[in-house]
Each structure stands twice: as structure tokens, then as C-alpha cells.
Amino acid sequence: MRLGFSTATTGLDYPQAFELAARLGLFLEIPYDLHEMDPRLPPARQLLEMGRAAGVEFTVHLPFVDLNLASLIPDVGKLSLERVRRSLEFAQTLGAYCGVLHTGKVAVRQLLALEMARRHLDTALQALTPLPIPVALENLALSPSDLLQGTDELADVLEAHPEYGFCLDVGHALVEGKEGQTEAYHQRFNGRLIHWHLHDNLGDRDSHLPVGLGRVNWSWVKEKLRDFKGTIALEVTGGLEGVEQSVHLLRSG
């Protein structure tokens, strides 16, 4: 099991995160947004050297804060595309296993707006190819503003863009469709699945609880992870203890 954790949700700084990752044999998922926001954070080459010293590798969550590849406003879409390109260069420098990408939002679910947003998304995804690293599109559908709702709409995009893989976020799926939605995404896209996001919630909101503190069916998840060859990133709160608790549950028999 190639397991890691996101530094975005834990609240750990990089020295703490590298120490924990090295001790538990984990990789780090780097939130590119934070590096855009805070120039004091180490650049990619420095992070790479820190990782080599600690024996820690990486995945990258590509930008999503104020980012919308499907924006109906052309200037917003152009800036979003440029930000993703920069983040892919960052991830390539790190030698990241993969990058995770959000697919965009639409302000109103009106037919013309939806058609235009989907067209803009298709154009952006095509413009990013050839991809310098594997990129996984993540299931969202946490609110009506998320462009892609459910498995059918995500399937349309993945079928149109075979260069991209899929990231199954179990917490998002639970909020979207309650019990059974994670299984539905897995059954539909298992052949494209290259990355998982693991965290828990009570089905009411995307609370990113440590594994085992909510309603995600972890017995089912662990069964599916047993033979999975890709990467798995914890996106849990609770700091060091939240990561340790989650790792223990996932690695236990």
C-alpha cells in the first residue's frame, strides 16, 4: 500500500510532516495552493532535497482555491489554466507520482451555462496535454456549483480525455450520495483509478475527520486497497494523532 498524507489538512509544518512521513513510511501530498499563497514556503527543488534526505516522496494537489478551468469568464479560465501549468511544472520537479485536479464550477445550473462551462473545461484539459506527470480528476459534487454531478457526467469527461486518470475521494462521495456512492464511483471508474483521497465524515459535510470517526465503510475501502497499485493520500484533520490513527486503522488486519 503506497500511503501518504496531505500537509494541507493536518496543520503540520514541513519539518514536522517530513519527520512523521519518514517515521511511518509515508509520502507527502503537497498542496500547491499554499505555495502560491505563501512565498516563504520552500520551492520545489528545496522540497525535493528535503524529501531525498528524509526518504520521502510526493504527490501534489494541483490548485483549486479560486481556480475554475470551466469558468464562463474567459480571463478567469486563462488564469486558471496558467496556474495549473505552473503547478504541473512544480510537481514534475518533485518527481511526483501524480497530481490531483478539480474539474471546475458553474455559477448557475442553466442549460446554456452548463454547455459553455463543459466546453471550456474540455478545452482546458486538452490544452494541458501532453501531461508531464499522471493527473487524476477528482470526484466533487459537494454542492450544485460543482460542474460535474455524479458518475455519468464524470464519465463523459473521462471518456473524452483518456490521458487523465481518476482520484476517488471517499469523503466527497459520502457527502454527495450517502452510502453506496463510493462503491458506484469505484465500479464505474476502477480501470482509470490511480489515486485515492481518504478521510471520514458523517455524511452531512466535508469535515475531513480521521479514518474511523465517521460513516465511511472502511472495511470495503480496505478490501479494495489490498491489491491497488497506485497512491493513497490521507486528507485528515487532527494533526499528528489524526494521521497516526488513520494509518493504524488502514494497516491493521
Residue 21 sits in which domain range? Answer: 2-251
How is residue 151 written as a grid cell? 458518475
- Our count of domains for the chain comes to 1
| β-strands 2-6, 231-234 pairing | parallel
Query: Does 82 have pLDDT greater than 80?
Result: yes
The reported pLDDT for the residue numbered 1 is 81
Confidence of residue 53 (pLDDT cuts 50, 70, 90): very high
> pTM for the complete prediction?
0.96
Give the type of residue at 185. Answer: Y
Query: Does 179 have pLDDT greater than 90?
Result: no
For residue range 102-160, list pLDDT tens digits in order.
999 998 899 999 999 999 999 999 999 999 999 999 999 999 999 999 999 999 999 99
Secondary structure, 3-state, 158-198 = HHHCCCCEEEEEHHHHHHHHCCCHHHHHHHHHHHHEEEEEE
Nearest to 186 by CA among 207, 217, 208: 217
For residue range 1-35, list pLDDT tens digits in order.
899 999 999 999 999 999 999 999 999 999 999 99
With vertex at residue 135, the alpha carbon angle to CA 133 and CA 140, rounded to the nearest 5 degrees, is 160
Instruction: Give me the CATH number covering residue 213.
Output: 3.20.20.150
The number of C-alpha atoms within 13 Å of 90 and in the hemisphere containing its C-beta is 26
The number of C-alpha atoms within 13 Å of 189 and in the hemisphere containing its C-beta is 32
Asked whether 155 and 162 are in contact (CB, 8 A), the reply is no
The reported pLDDT for the residue numbered 199 is 98
Question: In whole numbers, what is the pLDDT of the chain averaged over residues?
Answer: 97
Query: Does 204 have pLDDT greater than 90?
Result: yes
